[in-house]
Amino acid sequence: MTMTKLKIGVAVILTVFAANVFAQKVDVAKEFKYAAEQTDYMLDQIAHTDTGKNLVSPRTFENGKFKMVNSTDWTSGFFPGQLWFLYEETHDAKWEKYAKIYTAKIAKEQYNKGTHDLGFMIYCSFGNAYRLTKDENYKKVIIQAAKSLSTRFNVKAGVLRSWDHSEDRWKYPVIIDNMMNLELLFEATKLTGDSSFYKIAVTHANTTMINHFRPDYSSYHVVDYNIETGGIIKKTTAQGYSDESAWARGQAWGLYGYTMCYRETGDKRYLSQAQNIAKFIFSNPTLPKDLIPYWDYNDPAIPNTSRDVSAAAIMASALYELANYSKGNDYKEKANTILASLTNNFKNPLNSNGDFILLHSTGHRPAKSEIDVPINYADYYYLEALLRSKNGGKD
């Protein structure tokens, strides 16, 4: 055998070995045991944290400080959701007790008409609570939250308004993240029989599909609408590297959002959209072999810049579901790779860094906020992905 052939053979073996390492199945029970231990530490830390300012939910550990937020923060529902996932996996009444306590802390947000993030806030908490308990009180909160969210819909533009702030930058901004809040509306129609929620959700999804995506199926972060004409004022970013770049978490929101929309409607346009977003992500030359993306696919500093573990966790959860709807694909294998990468290389050591589960997420790099930190939504979607990995892609 020539030296060249030997080198090629070794390279192939190493590549296969690496792929097998990344794609190994994660021991879900073991990882939930770890998550339960870490969450126990976090609950103890919360008990010793001053919550006098109505701080109800842990968000991150940044600059050596454990940070909690009040119920109006868009991330307030993730920790209660995490507790419900722990209860779902372990059936331990302790986790149900804590899940109920922390879910109740954000109940008043069901009436909040000043945010588009009620899906994150209410559905991740009360949605999981109702799914697991069928308690009618949780159902009522979901319905009221959907009513509040619906008030942000503009018929002319065909979308739900995202932010009410920064009017000097945008007149009627809609962010790709908003796709995630549609699940609350779909659920409200199922719970009430009122199709108005469903119609708003599909109209928003359709409008976003037309206006937010480039020909390669990467998405803009922010699209600014003229509500008098329904036209587009501009397409920009807030959290990405540039207006024309592909912000990693934004691509993950789109992947998850359109997969969910296909589940709720059966509209194959949404399935095709999710598949095309996945194609963009996994054909991107800057995506590392472990499939944990850098914070923006177009940051010229790659590889000397931060990863975004939260984007990876969202992707993994979405892919487990998308695999059910797509024949002849490798979505489940890719999800397994991401999950193994997160578990083996990005997990937080026990009782450290604020007692979150995963490290190395990027929140808002342009604002120099939450860069390379643990963060609650990464933990939430990681646990959801773990559950879906053993439940055939279902919650």
Catalytic residues: 117, 177
Three-state DSSP at 361 gives strand
Residue 236's DSSP bridge partners are 222
Conformation bin of residue 370: beta by default, left when phi > 0, alpha when psi is -120 to 50? left
Instruction: Quote the strand ranges of the chain, DSSP E.
Output: 55-62, 65-70, 153-154, 159-160, 173-175, 222-225, 232-236, 361-364, 369-373
Integer Cα distance of 251 and 218 in angstroms: 7
Contact 323, 333 (CB under 8 A): no
Q: What is the DSSP string of 222-243?
A: EEEE-TTT--EEEEE-SSSSST
Quote helix, strand, coil % in the chain, to nearest 5: 55, 10, 30
Which whole-number Å values give the CA distances from 230 to 172, 181, 343, in the listed order?
10, 21, 45
Per-residue DSSP letter, 76: T
Distance from CA of residue 122 to its chain's centroid?
Answer: 14
* CB 322, CB 274: distance < 8 Å: yes
Whether 267 contacts 255, CB under 8 Å = no
Copy the structure tokens of residue 72: 């109006």
What count of other Cβ atoms lies within 10 Å of the Cβ of residue 266?
10
